[in-house]
Chain A
Amino acid sequence: MTQVISTHEVGKRYGHKWALRDCTLSVPEGKVVGLVGPNGAGKSTLLHLAVGLLTPSAGTIDVLGASPTEGSKQLSKVGFVAQDAPVYAGLSVAQHLRMGAYLNATWDHRFAESRVGQLDLDPRQRAGSLSGGQRAQLALTIAVAKRPELLILDEPVASMDPLARREFLQSLMEIVAHGGVSVLLSSHLIGDLERVCDYLIILARSRVQLAGEVTDLLATHWRLSGPRRDPSSLAADQVVIEESHTDKQTTLLVRTEQAVLDPTWTIKPVTLDDLVLAYLSNPPRPERPALGAGQSSRRPDLGVVR
């Protein structure tokens, strides 16, 4: 699988404090990839490194086969909408589009104008008086009108009301359906990610806790409950992600590529929400093998990217 982003032990330090450290991951091409993790996990830092707004203090990052700070040609291949969708409050919608046309080597003005029409934005209106949802839509329009190969969105819908959020994601999915662009977006809203993403990366403490196709992740994780027992007695292919015990009962969240055949377990599928919470609240243990344990991985806590 071709990668649009690959990092190797990349890190960013501010003074003595590392915002991101030893982060190795890859983002596959042609997908909508969700990046989740707690606040402070380094998500925004990673996205800023990918668009060249920051330079790494350690390690390497490669975006579309080049360094993110390579030059203007590289910049034209990546579209970025920063957190809270910053726009120029004093400029009108039409002036934003003119600026986009002026600043970008490639610019699809027909697309930009038709999107503004579809969104019912008044071209003369100042961006400062737009609603949060409209502002984000304008920022998305500009990021997409430059026809990037990779679109990076940092918590694009975090501060929107439910309706604006839905409309924004509808716009984004229409753009994806049109083809030709890979998307990487960070969000805390797992429900949204479940709808729009086909690939998920869970990042915590700078490390990739899990990465994979959403359908594969959901098909390989199960909640088991049954009489109390020692998790080490499980079949070898069942990896315990989360466990809780009462004096009588054991409840586990396991990862396995095989069917669970033991009839003493009650087996339930997990939601993406359960899955993300289980990985975030249970730090990886060294003995936990990687997803698809047959394949070798230097990092035991790293999901194998297919």
Chain B
Amino acid sequence: MIEFQLDEGSGVATYLQLVQQVHQALRVGILEPGDQLPTAQQVVAKLAINPNTVFKAYRDLEREGLVRARPGQGTFVVGTPPRNDPTAQARFLGSMTAWVSEARSAGLDPDDMEAIYRTAIRNCFSVGVA
């Protein structure tokens, strides 16, 4: 069983903090398939957060295929997050490096590039949000 912590100053939504802590626990092997997550009742009793926040986090984890709710028993780990493919990472570092040098020769500085990068990220990931 793991115990959740909250970082109130982080600006990260509470349900996302719970999701990230499960990811992290799976990555380092604290949680393994078959392990049970704390019940919503246990989490809210410790953290004084809204139970719907816990349900939302667990639903997200279920959608990722990492946990499964068994009615009347609790929520259990059934999978582990996929590892990032190292060759894909190398490939994107390559194309990103090319992009950065091109932007540099066009006169952009690192701050300009970061602003563009952040805009692109928002652009791609905001679909369906809100």
Q: Do A and B bind each other?
A: yes
A interface, CB within 8 angstroms of B:
31-32, 166, 169-170, 172-174, 176-178, 191, 194-198, 215-216, 218-220, 257-261, 263, 266-267, 269, 271
Q: List 19 A-B contacts (CB under 8 A).
A: A172-B48, A173-B45, A176-B44, A177-B40, A177-B44, A191-B8, A195-B47, A195-B48, A198-B53, A215-B13, A215-B15, A220-B130, A259-B122, A259-B126, A260-B122, A261-B123, A263-B115, A263-B116, A271-B11
Does the CB pair A195–B130 fall under 8 Å? no
Residues 94-130 of chain B, each 1 if its beta carbon lies under 8 Å from chain A, else 0: 0000000000000000000001101100110010011
The number of A-B residue pairs with CB atoms under 8 Å apart is 68
Kindly list 7 other residue pairs between chains A and B, CB separation below 8 angstroms, not including A196-B48, A258-B126, A261-B122.
Answer: A170-B44, A174-B44, A174-B45, A194-B14, A195-B48, A263-B115, A267-B122
Contact of B41 among A32, A174, A191, A216 (CB under 8 A): A174
Contact of A32 among B50, B126, B130 (CB under 8 A): B50
Which residue of chain B has the shortest Cβ distance to A221 in the bound complex? B130
Q: Which residues of A contact B15 (CB under 8 A)?
A: 215
Does the CB pair B48–A169 fall under 8 Å? yes
Q: Give CA–CA (A216, B46) in the complex, Å.
A: 25
Does the CB pair B45–A197 fall under 8 Å? no
| B37 vs chain A, min Cβ distance (A) | 14
| A241 vs chain B, min Cβ distance (A) | 16
Which residue of chain A has the shortest Cβ distance to B122 in the bound complex? A259
Q: Tell whether B51 is near chain A: CB-to-CB under 8 Å.
A: yes
Residues 49-75 of chain B, each 1 if its beta carbon lies under 8 Å from chain A, else 0: 111110000000000000000000000
Question: Most B CB atoms within 10 A — which of A216, A218, A263?
Answer: A263
Known: A191-B8, A218-B13, A259-B123. A173 touches B116 (CB 8 A): no
Contact of B49 among A173, A219, A258 (CB under 8 A): A173
Does the CB pair B130–A177 fall under 8 Å? no
Known: A220-B130, A261-B119, A267-B122. A166 touches B11 (CB 8 A): no
Which residue of chain B has the shortest Cβ distance to A30 in the bound complex? B52
Does the CB pair A196–B50 fall under 8 Å? yes
Residues 2-22 of chain B, each 1 if its beta carbon lies under 8 Å from chain A, else 0: 000010100101110000000
Q: Give the size of the chain B interface in residues (CB under 8 angstroms).
A: 27
Interchain residue pairs A-B with the least CB separation, the first 9: A259-B126, A173-B44, A177-B51, A169-B48, A219-B130, A170-B48, A263-B119, A195-B49, A177-B41
Q: In chain B, residues 79-93, which have Cβ atoms closer than 8 Å to a Cβ of chain A?
A: none
Q: Which residues of A contact B52 (CB under 8 A)?
A: 31-32, 198
Q: Give CA–CA (A183, B47) in the complex, Å.
A: 18
Which residue of chain B has the shortest Cβ distance to A174 in the bound complex? B45
Q: Which residues of A contact B41 (CB under 8 A)?
A: 174, 177-178
Which residue of chain B has the shortest Cβ distance to A192 in the bound complex? B48
Q: Which residues of A contact B40 (CB under 8 A)?
A: 177
| A53 vs chain B, min Cβ distance (A) | 27
Which residue of chain B has the shortest Cβ distance to A217 in the bound complex? B130
Known: A198-B53, A216-B130. A173 touches B48 (CB 8 A): yes
| A133 vs chain B, min Cβ distance (A) | 13
Q: Give CA–CA (A60, B126) in the complex, Å.
A: 41
Q: Which residues of A contact B45 (CB under 8 A)?
A: 170, 173-174, 177
Q: Which residues of A contact B53 (CB under 8 A)?
A: 198
Contact of B129 among A173, A194, A219 (CB under 8 A): A219
Q: Give CA–CA (A220, B126) in the complex, Å.
A: 11
Q: Give CA–CA (A220, B129) in the complex, Å.
A: 9
Q: Give CA–CA (A219, B125) in the complex, Å.
A: 13
Q: Give CA–CA (A259, B124) in the complex, Å.
A: 9
Q: Which residues of B contact A259 (CB under 8 A)?
A: 122-123, 126
| A77 vs chain B, min Cβ distance (A) | 22
Q: Which residues of A contact B6 (CB under 8 A)?
A: 195
Q: Which residues of A contact B8 (CB under 8 A)?
A: 191
Q: Which residues of B contact A257 (CB under 8 A)?
A: 130
Q: Which residues of A contact B126 (CB under 8 A)?
A: 258-259
